[in-house]
Amino acid sequence: MAFKAISIVVARCLSSLELLFRLDRGLPQSNLRLVVDGLAGALAIGVVATTSVAAQEKPNAVGLGIFTFTSGPAAAYGMPGKNAADLMIDEINATGGIEGVPVSATYVDEAQGAQGVIAEYRRLAGDAKNQVMIAALSSATCLALAPLAEQLEVPTVGWNCDTHQLLMDGKSKYVFRPNGNTVPEFIAYAIYLLDRKPDVKTVAIINPDYAFGHDAAKIFTAALKALKPDIQIVAELYPKLGSPNYQTEISRLTTARPDVVFSNLWGADLENFVRQATPRGLFASSQVILALGETVLQRVPLPDGVIVGVLGDGWWMSPDAKANPETVKFAEAYKRRFGEYPVFPAIKMANALIYVKAAYKAAMQKNGGKRPTRAELADAMKGSKVATLTGTAQTRADNDGLVDQIVGVTVKTPAQQFPVIGDMARYKGDSLMPQVGQDPLAWISTLKPEFAKSLPKPGSYK
């Protein structure tokens, strides 16, 4: 129906333009009507194309708006998320949907920037069919959408949204993040590093030049200084996001001769860095930490002994994941369909969908099997504890998530062609988080060296 309307309008537009060219020189005055027609038509395209969904009859599906990067450099992280969502939704629908209602998703490309994303969010929110937004990947998008979610009262699940600033004011009613945030994610690396290399003296940092890179450097440094005050940061490099070349940075890192090189580069940047640093011996001269290293394990040959992790518990080969038949099935299906095993962004997305599904079920149980409202869904998410593919996602009073953190080192295994993570530690989600309402950086600076003693040791998680 909508498509027919669109094509009619397009045809009308085109025909009026064509007339214009023909009459171009002859009758300028009478062109005016046609021009107005054309412009009105152009306006109408916008209106029709975008309101057609709203004009549909009574909703018979659970509508989800899913925000991720499907173009631009960040798509390297965003597409696994979209793939996982596609796969999960197909699987949910193949088994009868959520409580008998099929799921339908609308994807929004975050590469449009804040303005386009907000426009899309408003459009999707204007359609009653869409009950939950799974938004978003980038912290900047999440921060821009959060106030909107509260105003429009749409439950919004941050499937990645690492920044610790998102829920800091503790007043959120509709924004949820069933994930860790930058604070536990990067403290985990500091603790793991000091357990594995207690005598480390000098550290160099190379992070991408945007909020995520700077936040991570700040948290990692603060945690290291609190746990081992004599540590020195000998170099801090912030190459531009999307830089293809790290040769100069690698020379700089090599001349600084640090014990440890820490990096939260990701996507193509990380691949380029690894590819250029390996032959130049950086991995041999320093202990390297690649915070998002798991995403490239299957793509670039990482040497043994690099500290890597998954910014959460989302490793598809972790002992918990292997013990869960659902996860094994998901990983195999993902490999069949997309040619690669699911990297942790894919698992994060899958877990976010499971989180939404659980909330939907809970809300329906509570209201007696009716189709839940947005408010009821948000209510069901509050304080929930959901079993995911790789662990549990617990929602705190401030809507922030408690998720375990897995860190380990790369090891070779006969079972796979690519390196896997071994010698792992799995830190409990709440053990690395400040209390609700506490300023995270202030909390980190209060940590004492004894703090790490009580936590699991490398190799304890198997």
Partner 1 sequence: MSNAIIPLLLDSLASAALIFFAAVGLTLVFSVLRVLNVAHGSLYSIGGYVAASICLFITSRQLNPYLSFVALLFSAVFVAAIFGPLIERSLVRWTYGKSEAVQILITFGLFLILEDLQRVTFGVQSFYEDAPMRLLGTLNVGGVVYLNYQIFLIGMALFVVIGLRLLINHTRLGRLITAVVTDREMAQSIGIDTNRIFILAFSLGVFLAALGGALATPTSGIAPGLGADTMVLAFAVAAIGGLGQIEGAAVASLIVGVARVLAIYLVPSLDAVAPYAAMLVVLLIRPYGLFGSVTARRI
Partner 2 sequence: MRTIVAASAVLILAVLPVAAPWLQFVLTVAIAKGFAALGVAVLLRAGLISIGHAMFFAASAYGVAFLARAGINDLGLLLILSVLVAALVGAIAGMFLVRYRAIFFAMLNLAVSMVFYALCAKLYGVTGGTDGLPVPIPAVFGIAVGEPVFKSVLFYLSLALMLLVGLAVQRYLNSPLGHALSAVHSNEIRLEYLGIPVWTVLLIAYVISAALAGLGGAIAGFAIGRVVPDFAFWTASGHLVLIAVLGGIGGVPGAFLGALFLELLHSAAVTVTDAWNLIVGMTLIIVIMFLPQGFYGLFSRKEASSL
Among partner 2, partner 1, none, the one that 42 touches (CB under a kind-dependent 5 to 8 A) is partner 2
Task: For residue 29, count CB atoms less than 10 angstroms from its CB and return exposed for 0-12, middle for 13-18, buried for 19 or more.
Answer: exposed
Strand order of the β-sheet with 260-263 is: 232-237, 202-206, 260-263, 287-290, 307-309, 405-411, 420-427
Does residue 75 bind partner 1 (CB under 8 A)?
Answer: yes
Among partner 1, partner 2, none, the one that 36 touches (CB under a kind-dependent 5 to 8 A) is partner 2
| CA dihedral over 350, 420, 306, 455, signed as positive or negative | positive
- Residue 31 CA from chain centroid, whole number: 51
Binding marks (x or -) toward partner 1, 239..258, rule CB under 8 A?
A: xx-xxxx-xxx-xx-xx---
Stretch that binds partner 1, among 145-153, 179-187, 278-286, 437-445 (CB under 8 A): 278-286
> What whole-number distance in Å separates Cα of residue 136 and Cα of residue 95?
27
Among partner 2, partner 1, none, the one that 268 touches (CB under a kind-dependent 5 to 8 A) is partner 1
Does residue 271 bind partner 1 (CB under 8 A)?
Answer: yes
Stretch that binds partner 1, among 71-79, 98-106, 133-141, 391-399 (CB under 8 A): 71-79
Among partner 2, partner 1, none, the one that 308 touches (CB under a kind-dependent 5 to 8 A) is none
Looking at residue 348, its amino acid is: K
The correct pick among 73, 126, 422, 459 for binding partner 1 (CB under 8 A) is 73
Does residue 267 bind partner 1 (CB under 8 A)?
Answer: yes
The correct pick among 79, 101, 152, 211 for binding partner 1 (CB under 8 A) is 79
Backbone angles phi, psi at 101, to 5 degrees: -105, 125
Instruction: By CB under 8 A, name the binding residues for partner 2.
Output: 17, 20-21, 28-29, 31-32, 35-36, 39-40, 42-43, 45-47, 49-51, 54, 70-71, 107-109, 112-116, 118-120, 122-123, 125-126, 139-140, 143-144, 147-148, 151, 163, 165, 209-211, 214
Cβ atoms < 10 Å from Cβ of 423: 19
Q: Give the residue among 99, 127, 59 at the shortest CA–CA distance from 380.
A: 99
Minimal distance in Å, beta carbon 197 to partner 1? 22
The correct pick among 59, 72, 97, 102 for binding partner 1 (CB under 8 A) is 72
Q: Give the residue among 320, 313, 331, 309 at the shortest CA–CA distance from 423.
A: 309
CA angle 349, 79, 184 (to 5 degrees): 45
Among partner 1, partner 2, none, the one that 401 touches (CB under a kind-dependent 5 to 8 A) is none
- Whichever of 204 and 424 has its CB closer to partner 1, that residue is 204
Stretch that binds partner 1, among 68-76, 310-318, 381-389, 427-435 (CB under 8 A): 68-76
Among partner 1, partner 2, none, the one that 76 touches (CB under a kind-dependent 5 to 8 A) is partner 1
- Whichever of 99 and 209 has its CB closer to partner 2, that residue is 209
Does residue 97 bind partner 1 (CB under 8 A)?
Answer: no
Max CA pair span of the chain: 88
Does residue 276 bind partner 1 (CB under 8 A)?
Answer: yes
> What whole-number distance in Å separates Cα of residue 272 and Cα of residue 246?
8
Minimal distance in Å, beta carbon 126 to partner 2? 4
Paired tokens of 369: 């099997």
- Whichever of 42 and 256 has its CB closer to partner 2, that residue is 42
Minimal distance in Å, beta carbon 161 to partner 2? 11
Residues of this chain that bind partner 1 (CB under 8 A) = 70-73, 75-76, 78-79, 209, 235-240, 242-245, 247-249, 251-252, 254-255, 267-268, 271-272, 275-276, 279-281, 299
